[in-house]
């Protein structure tokens, strides 16, 4: 789960390399990382049983251009409390073509609210002994800067290279992340650019908790069993999501399950089952952020004094926010969603889209104009009227 509200449309950090579409952005950083790693000695150790069980698994339908297939994916989400979620991910690919070697690069994202508590990778070669790599062989890096975004955030990544991800071999990994959730929501992205043989997701909730599941780009599917707070889902033989020219954003095409969960007694402050609750959440998050400082009041007055018409006054304020406030996104923790106070944005003369919208709202109030945040999504199809969610691609509109 990421926590970002920014105007930048570049794809944000996904959970692991397999869903991190802009892998090219990572190529440079990975080269650097692997230089640092110096190709750590390959430890010969048995891959776990769950991977060996895949050796003779029939491959999902694929064509000759397919670089790899995902044989098995398992995501187990355990909600310990409203403040703590543990997620364990297991995945294994069979590499089919040299271009599929990138499946041996494991990238797990973390931030100040999310830490990686374990990370292992293995390779089962077509011939010879298994290889193993562990946490200590991973390096922690900051994602590359997105050109033009001036983005500063607290997202980091643990990068692990699995040895010998060659055609015919099976590479797999397992990691656990522990998260202090900013919103009570989990997303299972089960489709990717290679065919998937089998994908599992499970949600374990504490006693008395409830969840609401919403499907996007895939027919609604019931859990395979239910009881004791555990809800598992399983899908198989999933088609690859091929890249095509002029296609909609992947987030609007890929099959996803979005699960919102709630403690006993209904939605928490950071959980929502309808648009009203999401609006309330955002209103709480922005409360007091647009209060005008003396300096803002003075500037708004000076900028608008020459104009008798309200519309001209509003235009003058918009010009100021557009031209004199530089776009710089500093998104740390909840700062990915919560704007900085208008007074700070005004003083520092920089901010991201939600910061600019906040300052604009503050200045408009000084000329007697009420204004409101409008949360929009920048990736067509990733949010629908039925599917309320806060994602990487939703943001308050800037003036």
Looking at 247, 302, 305, 376, which residue binds another protein (CB under 8 A)?
A: 247
Which one, 88 or 149, has the nearer CB to another protein?
149
CA distance 12 to 119: 21
Give min distance, CB of 312 to another protein, in A.
13
Q: Are 71 and 57 in contact (CB under 8 A)?
A: yes
CA distance 44 to 29: 27
Per-residue mark of binding to another protein, 340-379 (x: CB under 8 A): ----------------------------------------
Looking at 222, 288, 323, 385, which residue binds another protein (CB under 8 A)?
A: 323
Give min distance, CB of 350 to another protein, in A.
12
Question: How far is residue 308 from each of residues 192, 360, 361, 369, measured CA to CA in Å?
Answer: 56, 19, 20, 14
Which one, 97 or 242, has the nearer CB to another protein?
242
Give min distance, CB of 381 to another protein, in A.
8
Q: Which two tokens stand for residue 236?
A: 């198989």
From 13-21, 91-99, 129-137, 244-252, give the range in contact with another protein by CB under 8 A: 244-252
Write the CB contacts of 276 (distance below 8 Å, at least 6 apart in sequence): none
From 59-67, 114-122, 226-234, 245-253, give the range in contact with another protein by CB under 8 A: 245-253
Give the residue carrying structure tokens 């656990």: 176
308 near another protein, rule: CB under 8 A? no
Per-residue mark of binding to another protein, 378-397 (x: CB under 8 A): --x-----------------
Q: Which helix (H) or strand (E) holds 107?
A: strand 105-110
Q: Are 46 and 130 in contact (CB under 8 A)?
A: yes
User: Strand 350-351 to strand 230-238: parallel, antiparallel, or no bridges (unpaired)?
Assistant: unpaired
Window 253-272: residues binding another protein (CB under 8 A): 253
Give φ, ψ of 182 to 5 degrees: -85, -30
From 86-94, 225-233, 316-324, 346-354, give the range in contact with another protein by CB under 8 A: 316-324
Burial level of 77, CB count in 10 A (0-12/13-18/19+)?
buried
Q: Are 113 and 2 in contact (CB under 8 A)?
A: no
Size of the site for another protein (CB under 8 A): 15
CA distance 115 to 136: 15
Give min distance, CB of 19 to another protein, in A.
17
Looking at 219, 246, 265, 311, which residue binds another protein (CB under 8 A)?
A: 246
63 near another protein, rule: CB under 8 A? no
Q: Which two tokens stand for residue 311?
A: 């519309």
From 147-155, 229-237, 362-370, 385-393, give the range in contact with another protein by CB under 8 A: 147-155
Give min distance, CB of 148 to another protein, in A.
3
Distance of alpha carbon 200 from its chain centroid, rounded?
A: 19
Looking at 244, 265, 385, 386, which residue binds another protein (CB under 8 A)?
A: 244
Give the residue carrying structure tokens 């650019």: 193
Give min distance, CB of 248 to another protein, in A.
4
Write the CB contacts of 394 (distance below 8 Å, at least 6 apart in sequence): 5, 375, 376, 377, 378, 383
Q: Are 239 and 112 in contact (CB under 8 A)?
A: no
148 near another protein, rule: CB under 8 A? yes
Give min distance, CB of 307 to another protein, in A.
16
Which one, 186 or 191, has the nearer CB to another protein?
191
Give min distance, CB of 249 to another protein, in A.
8
CA distance 373 to 63: 47
Give min distance, CB of 363 to another protein, in A.
17
From 56-64, 90-98, 185-193, 319-327, give the range in contact with another protein by CB under 8 A: 319-327
Q: Which two tokens stand for residue 248?
A: 């909609």
CA distance 223 to 229: 12
Interface ranges with another protein (CB under 8 A): 147-149, 242, 244-249, 253, 319, 322-323, 380
């Amino acid at each position: 789960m990421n926590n970002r509200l920014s105007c930048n449309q570049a794809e944000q950090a996904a959970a692991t390399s397999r869903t991190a579409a802009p892998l090219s952005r990572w190529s440079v950083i990975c080269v650097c990382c692997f230089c640092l790693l110096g190709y750590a000695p390959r430890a010969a150790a048995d891959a776990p049983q769950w991977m060996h069980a895949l050796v003779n698994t029939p491959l999902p339908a694929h064509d000759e251009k397919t670089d790899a297939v995902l044989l098995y994916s398992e995501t187990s989400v355990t909600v310990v409390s409203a403040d703590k979620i543990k997620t364990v991910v297991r995945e294994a690919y069979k590499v089919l073509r040299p271009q599929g070697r990138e499946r041996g690069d494991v990238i797990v994202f973390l931030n100040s609210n999310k830490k990686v508590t374990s990370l292992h990778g293995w390779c089962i070669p077509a011939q010879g002994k298994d290889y193993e790599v562990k946490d200590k062989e991973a390096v922690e890096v900051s994602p590359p800067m997105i050109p033009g975004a001036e983005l500063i955030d607290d997202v980091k990544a643990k990068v692990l290279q699995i040895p010998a991800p060659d055609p015919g071999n099976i590479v797999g990994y397992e990691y656990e992340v522990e998260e202090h959730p900013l919103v009570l929501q989990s997303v299972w992205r089960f489709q990717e650019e290679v065919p998937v043989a089998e994908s599992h997701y499970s949600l374990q909730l504490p006693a008395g908790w409830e969840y609401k599941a919403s499907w996007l780009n895939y027919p609604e599917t019931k859990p395979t069993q239910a009881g004791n707070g555990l809800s598992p889902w399983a899908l198989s033989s999933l088609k690859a999501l091929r890249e095509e020219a002029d296609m909609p954003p992947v987030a609007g095409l890929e099959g996803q399950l979005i699960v919102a969960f709630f403690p006993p007694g209904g939605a928490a402050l950071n959980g929502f089952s309808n648009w009203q609750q999401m609006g309330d959440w955002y209103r709480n998050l922005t409360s007091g952020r647009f209060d005008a400082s003396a300096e803002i009041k003075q500037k708004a007055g000076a900028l608008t004094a020459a104009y008798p018409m309200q519309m001209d006054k509003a235009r003058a304020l918009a010009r100021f926010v557009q031209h004199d406030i530089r776009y710089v996104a500093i998104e740390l923790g909840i700062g990915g969603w919560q704007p900085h106070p208008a007074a700070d944005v005004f003083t520092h003369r920089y901010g991201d889209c939600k910061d600019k919208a906040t300052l604009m709202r503050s200045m408009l109030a000084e000329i007697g104009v009420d204004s409101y945040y409008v949360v929009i999504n920048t990736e067509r199809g990733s949010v629908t009227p039925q599917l309320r969610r806060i994602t990487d691609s939703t943001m308050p509109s800037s003036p």
